[in-house]
């Protein structure tokens, strides 16, 4: 039975609005949580309740929810030019400025920037560019893409095929043929009994190589990875993982694609997640933090060999047959440029490191007092706290996801927005968070955990 009042905004939402990543029947019963206003790291719902948004929305509003400079940058950009595109040699002026700025920040030498509007478009664009790269070199059979279990790369058909999460495939008959998945480098759950990290890494590299050899190295175009898996559970790979993996890939002529959609722009305590984990990509996709999600804009940075392949492929005067109407939109470009200026002025990387250390220390101290925290992991300002029935054996709660959902509800009660990923609780607050904000987050987290833990203890006793 629905508890939603008739003729309310909630009822209209249920009637007229299909939500992303939401169960339709549950939504029809519960209705939406309607957000109406933001202030720094907080948001307010339609009842006026204030929440600390410890997920920065969807890992995205690095500058919080009310940055006046971004509002001004948007207004000024709209005053100048409400729209222009980048087809047929044309471009808004500000888009050139943004491309130059991104190239200056790029760890890929002599890069160029290509613009799109979502993370999914950016990751798919990298796939098409990888296909061009090999085709231009006469290797037209190289079409397959290797992604990883528990990776997330977006919702369009190719991006979803690259995801390593069953929920992205189940309803749609995905992945498409030719989209493969290798093991996830999860240091908490991945190692076999008695296996140390160097041996675990060696096994992951060997499994990747075995897959490549079985498929045929000359059929594989690229490998894609998030430096740190976000939606898959905030998985920080063990030391030496990416160097070991990349050695295998390079040996077989396979391109390395970094999905920096979450990890880019300071999130992991370096400008790029690739730098945090020792990844050296040929291309990288970025979105979210590029504009603090104040505008749908994304980008791909591509290295010189890819650019040359594209020129070679079209050497007889054909055009590069790819592009989105809103690629390089002047308002998005102006907002992104201003976002990057603010990152520079706030010296975002040291700030993230300092706040990240404060958050990590606080979470560890909470974990030390808890009997259901199995793991606290993360880098920069991106963490997961995994709740387990028995930290000693790492045995999880049954069924998976129930305690995570319970924590989510209790956190909401306490004015804290987190994201449960199974029973791992993700935290990814706006990068502007200060010491007071971190302490407030920790307090609300602790309160929620104590309640959920007490209930779990009661259940165990009763059971
Ligand atoms: C790592 C990663 N890649 C790609 C995407 C897809 O981005 P979008 O939803 O903008 O298409 C996401 C979205 O959360 C993401 O986390």
Q: Could you read off the pLDDT of 150-179 as tens digits, one per residue? A: 999 999 999 999 999 999 999 999 999 999
Cα-to-centroid distance, 153 and ligand 1 (Å): 5
Q: What is the pLDDT of residues 97-139, one digit of tens each?
A: 999 999 999 999 999 999 999 999 999 999 999 999 999 999 9
Q: In what order do the strands lie in the sheet with 416-417?
A: 35-39, 42-45, 50-53, 416-417
In DSSP terms, 122 is beta-bridged to none
* Backbone phi and psi for residue 199, each to the nearest 5 degrees, phi listed first: -75, -35
Residue 295 Cβ < 6 Å to ligand 1: no
Which of 152, 157, 231 to mutate to test ligand 1, by most ligand atoms within 8 A of the CB atom? 152
Residue 144: is the preceding peptide bond cis (ω within 30°)?
A: no
Cα-to-centroid distance, 192 and ligand 1 (Å): 31
Mean pLDDT of 216-223: 98
The continuous run of DSSP H or E covering 301 comes out as strand 298-302
Which domains does the chain possess? 33-66+347-462 (3.90.1150.10), 69-345 (3.40.640.10)
Give the number of the atom of ligand 1 that is nearest the alpha carbon of residue 60.
14
Q: What is the pLDDT of residue 3?
A: 79
Helices 197-215 + 241-251 axis angle, to 10: 20
In DSSP terms, 387 is beta-bridged to 373
What residues contact 413, with CB distance under 8 A and at least 6 apart? 448
Residue 261 Cβ < 6 Å to ligand 1: yes
Q: Is the pLDDT of residue 1 over 60?
A: no
The continuous run of DSSP H or E covering 91 comes out as none
Largest CA distance in the chain: 76
Q: Is the pLDDT of residue 186 over 70?
A: yes
Residue, of 206 and 6, whose pLDDT is higher = 206
Q: What is the pLDDT of residue 218?
A: 98
3-class secondary-structure state, position 416: strand
Q: What is the pLDDT of residue 7?
A: 87
* Distance (Å) of CA 451 to CA 92, 223, 370, 403: 53, 43, 11, 11
Of 239, 331, 237, which Cα lies nearest the Cα of 291? 331
Cα-to-centroid distance, 119 and ligand 1 (Å): 5
Average pLDDT, the chain: 97
The continuous run of DSSP H or E covering 371 comes out as none
Q: What is the pLDDT of residue 5?
A: 87
* Distance (Å) of CA 258 to CA 21, 34, 120, 277: 24, 34, 13, 11
3-class secondary-structure state, position 209: helix
Cα-to-centroid distance, 298 and ligand 1 (Å): 10
Of 77, 117, 37, 39, which Cα lies nearest the Cα of 291? 117
Give percent of the chain with pLDDT exceeding 90.
Answer: 97
Q: Is the pLDDT of residue 224 over 80?
A: yes
* Backbone phi and psi for residue 134, each to the nearest 5 degrees, phi listed first: -75, -40
Q: What is the pLDDT of residue 457?
A: 87
Mean pLDDT of 64-69: 98
Cα-to-centroid distance, 120 and ligand 1 (Å): 6
What are the E-state strand segments in 47-143? Answer: 50-53, 112-116
């Amino acid at each position: 039975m629905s508890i939603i009042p008739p003729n309310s905004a909630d009822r209209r939402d249920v009637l007229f609005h299909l939500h992303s990543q939401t169960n339709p029947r549950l939504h029809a019963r519960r209705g939406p949580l309607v957000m109406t206003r933001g202030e720094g790291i907080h948001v307010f719902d339609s009842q006026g309740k204030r929440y600390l948004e410890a997920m920065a929305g969807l890992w995205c509003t690095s500058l919080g929810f009310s940055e006046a400079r971004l509002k001004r940058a948007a207004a000024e950009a709209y005053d100048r030019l409400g729209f222009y595109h980048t087809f047929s040699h044309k471009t808004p002026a500000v888009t050139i400025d943004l491309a130059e700025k991104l190239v200056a920040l790029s760890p890929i030498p002599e890069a160029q920037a290509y613009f799109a509007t979502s993370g999914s478009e950016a990751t798919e664009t990298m796939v098409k560019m990888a296909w061009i790269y090999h085709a231009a070199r006469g290797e037209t059979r190289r079409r397959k893409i290797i992604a990883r279990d528990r990776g997330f790369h977006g919702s369009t058909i190719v991006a979803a095929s690259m995801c390593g999460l069953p929920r992205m495939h189940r309803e749609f008959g995905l992945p498409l043929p030719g989209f493969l998945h290798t093991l996830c480098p999860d240091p908490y759950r991945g190692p076999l009994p008695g296996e140390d990290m160097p041996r675990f890494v060696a096994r992951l590299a060997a499994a990747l190589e075995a897959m490549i050899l079985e498929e045929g190295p000359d059929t594989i175009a690229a490998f894609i990875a998030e430096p740190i898996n976000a939606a898959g559970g905030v998985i920080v790979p063990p030391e030496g993982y990416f160097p070991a993996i990349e050695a295998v890939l390079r040996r077989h002529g396979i391109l390395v694609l970094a999905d920096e959609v979450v990890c880019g722009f300071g999130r992991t305590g370096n400008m790029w997640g690739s730098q945090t984990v020792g990844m050296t990509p040929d291309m990288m996709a970025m979105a979210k933090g590029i504009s603090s999600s104040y505008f749908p804009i994304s980008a791909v940075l591509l290295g010189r060999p890819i650019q040359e392949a594209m020129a070679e492929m079209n050497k007889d005067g054909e055009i590069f047959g790819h592009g989105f109407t809103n690629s390089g939109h002047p308002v998005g470009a102006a907002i992104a440029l201003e976002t990057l200026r603010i990152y520079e002025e706030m010296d975002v990387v040291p700030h993230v490191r300092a706040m990240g250390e404060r958050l990590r220390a606080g979470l560890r101290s909470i974990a030390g007092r808890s009997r259901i925290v199995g793991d606290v992991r993360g880098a920069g300002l991106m963490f997961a706290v995994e709740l387990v029935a028995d930290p000693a054996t790492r045995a999880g709660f049954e069924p998976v996801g129930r305690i995570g959902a319970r924590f989510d509800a209790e956190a909401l009660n306490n004015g804290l927005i987190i994201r449960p990923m199974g029973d791992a609780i993700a935290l990814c607050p706006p990068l502007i968070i200060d010491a007071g904000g971190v302490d407030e987050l920790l307090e609300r987290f602790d309160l929620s955990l104590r309640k959920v833990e007490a209930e779990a203890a009661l259940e165990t006793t009763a059971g």
